[in-house]
Amino acid sequence: MRVVIGIDGGGSGTRLLARDGSGRTVALEGGPSGLSLGVERAWATLEGLIEQAHRALGIELDPKRVSLCLGLAGVNQPHWRAQLLALMPEGARVQLESDAYTTLIGAHRGRPGAIVALGTGSVGEALLSDGRRIEVGGYGFPSGDDASGAWFGLRATLHLQRVLDRRAVSDDFSHALAERLGVDRRQALIEWLTKADQTAYAGLAPVVLAHPEHPMVKALIIEAEQELWRMLDALCGSEPTLPVALCGGFAEALGKHLTAELRARFSSPQESAVAGALRLASALTAAGH
């Protein structure tokens, strides 16, 4: 009995859908599997979920009977991609895609469209009517990932730095940041910053958006809106009526703070990214390769 598995993995968490030959489906979640956090660490998470899915289905794991599509953040980095492929179990049918592409496939059920995905990181991708694919953003933390959770969190720490240095006045926003980080002095914040990765910074995003009237947060939201318009122009410039879904774990939270004009340009995804990965894995099985 062949097991079809789709996985959506990023810097904050991993989601899996598995289906056996009789149509039984299992949905699981696990820790981060973005490749920038370490390929071996990512694979340990993925492998654990794959094994857990087989146990849930009551099927012994046999790689030769697995069709697997992995939609992962960081897969476009050639070195990380090669490292991950080297870890794949021999005999499995594997398709390795960016999490942006699996999100796109799920959002429009495989039909032409575009997505802007906002999570720990950010990326935009389009599948045009003529079959061409366009990708924007996705350059990774810390220089890319515009308007993402990590992007907001990283910039928010500047306010706390200024307050602790008395370059800015303490306020509710700085108090909330300090409480979330568990720091109350300069050295403690320095220690936190030296250890923080994109997942840690993304964890600050809810604190940021809980203070939308703060001048710094207002400015960040405006900047994020500008970046989103730029992404839309790049994705849909040649096909202005292309439907665009706003996706990702941070999308709903930020969406509430966007202008009505920008919100109107986006639709809701029809299926999740992990459902898109399962679609691609099912196509692997159907194609027999």
Q: What is the DSSP string of 42-75?
A: HHHHHHHHHHHHHHHHT----GGGEEEEEEETTT
* Torsion, Cα of 112, 227, 277, 288 (10° steps): 60
For residue 125, CA distances in Å to 27, 75, 181, 195 come to: 25, 14, 34, 31
101: tokens are 């592409």
Homologous superfamily of the 3-109+272-287 domain (CATH) = ATPase, nucleotide binding domain (3.30.420.40)
Question: pLDDT digit string (tens) for 227-238?
Answer: 999 999 999 999
State the chain's mean pLDDT as an integer.
Answer: 94
Phi, then psi, of 64 in degrees rounded to 5: -70, -15
- Tell me how many degrees the CA angle 38-42-43 measures, rounded to the nearest 5: 120
Judge whether residue 289 has pLDDT over 50. Answer: no
Q: Residue 178 above 90 pLDDT?
A: yes
Three-state DSSP class for 188? helix
The answer, yes or no, to whether residue 52 has pLDDT greater than 70, is yes
Within this chain, domains 3-109+272-287 and 121-269 share the same CATH topology: yes
Summarize pLDDT for 11-32 with one digit per residue, the tens. Answer: 779 999 999 989 999 999 999 9
Helix axes 78-87, 39-57, angle to 10 degrees: 40
Q: Taking a C-beta distance cutoff of 8 angstroms, is the pair 257, 147 a contact?
A: no
Q: Which helix (H) or strand (E) holds 272?
A: none
pLDDT > 70? residue 156: yes
Predicted confidence band of residue 99 (pLDDT cuts 50, 70, 90): confident
Do residues 78 and 24 make contact, with C-beta atoms less than 8 angstroms apart? no
- Would you place residue 10 in the very low, low, confident or very high pLDDT band (cuts 50, 70, 90)? confident
Pair 96, 72: CB distance under 8 Å: yes
The ranges assigned to domains in the chain are 3-109+272-287, 121-269
Q: Which residues pair with residue 7 across a beta bridge?
A: 16, 70
Distance set, CA 140 to CA 74, 150, 169, 273, 286 (Å): 7, 10, 32, 19, 34
Is 3.30.420.40 the CATH classification of the domain at 121-269? yes
